[in-house]
Amino acid sequence: MDSVITLAGVGLTYPGPPPVSALRDVDLDVRQGDYLAVVGPSGSGKSTFLNVVGLLDRPTHGTYLLDGVDVSTLSERDRTALRGQRIGFVFQAFHLMPYRTATENVALATLYAGVPKKVRISTAHEALARVGLAHRAHALTNMLSGGERQRVAIARAILHRPSLLLCDEPTGNLDSDNAASVLTLLDQLHRDGMTLMVITHDSTVASRAKRLVTIRDGALC
């Protein structure tokens, strides 16, 4: 199977003084359909790792291939476009826009790809159906429960069929019932062939993944 992401000797050092190595010498290969969990205590460099993989931050050394494209040398404009097109983000805090419907929130995913509104709305309805929220499509997000909100966020993240679904503590703000439903949804997406990377410090979340990578002091082990 094809590699979705390939990290080779990737590191990120914040210029000092004193210089801080937030990420050092990371080698990782994630293949299509993988379900990978990255675990580590807080302060271990999980967030930096997520930012680098999610193209939100640029590594200072090493090479990073996303779908075979060396993104470490790309311009900021291309990185931004690639991020929008190839990566789906799921955040702990959901980051949904209040006072707007679930559909509008989901349809935002392809806004910056220039997809016409009608298409965005209809694909948003499909994505919401896929996460089991077809009946809540027109509800304002501030009226939804935590679990529903995270599922809307997941619908937004998968709308544009990303190469990689990047989840940052997806159950961190949820009670155990809602957390379980979200994890079930992730399992289901995995079965459908989605490539998933879940960054967490929660062992129950990590246990669902097929691969487990631990990060400590900015290094994978």
Partner 1 sequence: MLIAPSRFRLGDVIEESVAGLLQRPMRSALTMLGTMLGVGSFVAVLGLTATAGGQIDKRFTELAATEVTVADVGVAGANDPTMSFPANAASRVESINGVVHGGRWWPVPLDHPAVSSAPGISSHGGELQILAMDPSTVEAARPVLRLGRTFDTFHADRHEKVAVLGSVAASNLGIYRLDGNPAVFIDGTPFTVIGIIDDTGRMPDMLFGVIIPASTAYDLYGPPTEQRAQMLLETRLGAASVVADQVSLALRPDAPDLFKVTAAPDPKALRSKIGGDLDVLFLTLASISLIIGAIGIANTTLVAVLERTHEIGLRRALGARPRHIAAQFLTESTVLGLLGGMIGAAAGITVVVIAALVQGWTPLLQTWAVAPAPVAGALIGLLAGVYPAQRAARIEPVEALRR
The stretch among 103-111, 121-129, 175-183, 199-207 that binds partner 1 (CB under 8 A) is 103-111
Count of residues that bind partner 1 according to CB under 8 A:
34
Dihedral sign for Cα 46, 61, 4, 163, please: positive
Map residue 55 onto helix, strand or coil: coil
Residue whose entry in the numeric block shows the structure tokens 């929008």:
84
Residue whose entry in the numeric block shows the structure tokens 């930096």:
48
Question: Which of residues 35 and 89 has its CB atom nearest to partner 1 in the complex?
Answer: 89
Report the b/e string of 114-149 with b at 16+ CB within 10 A.
ebeeeebeebbbebbebbebeebbeebbeebebbbb
Give the Cα separation of 79 and 165 in Å (integer). 17
Map residue 140 onto helix, strand or coil: strand
Contact between 132 and partner 1 by CB under 8 A: the answer reads no
Identify whether the C-beta of residue 36 lies closer than 8 Å to the C-beta of residue 95: no
The C-alpha torsion from 11 through 16 and 17 to 18, rounded to 10°, is -20
The stretch among 22-30, 48-56, 123-131, 195-203 that binds partner 1 (CB under 8 A) is 48-56
Contact between 2 and partner 1 by CB under 8 A: the answer reads no
Backbone angles phi, psi at 83, to 5 degrees: -60, -45
Contact between 47 and partner 1 by CB under 8 A: the answer reads yes
Name which position in 24, 31, 100, 211 contacts partner 1 (CB under 8 A). 100
Contact between 108 and partner 1 by CB under 8 A: the answer reads yes
Contact between 56 and partner 1 by CB under 8 A: the answer reads yes
The stretch among 26-34, 101-109, 182-190, 196-204 that binds partner 1 (CB under 8 A) is 101-109
Map residue 197 onto helix, strand or coil: strand
Contact between 46 and partner 1 by CB under 8 A: the answer reads no
Binding pattern for the stretch 60-99 against partner 1, x by CB under 8 A and - elsewhere: --------xx----x--xx-xxxxxx---x-xxx-x-xxx
Give the Cα separation of 216 and 220 in Å (integer). 6
Contact between 146 and partner 1 by CB under 8 A: the answer reads no
Name which position in 61, 117, 161, 191 contacts partner 1 (CB under 8 A). 117
Map residue 185 onto helix, strand or coil: helix
Contact residues for partner 1, defined by CB under 8 A: 47, 51, 54, 56-57, 68-69, 74, 77-78, 80-85, 89, 91-93, 95, 97-100, 104, 108-109, 111-114, 116-117
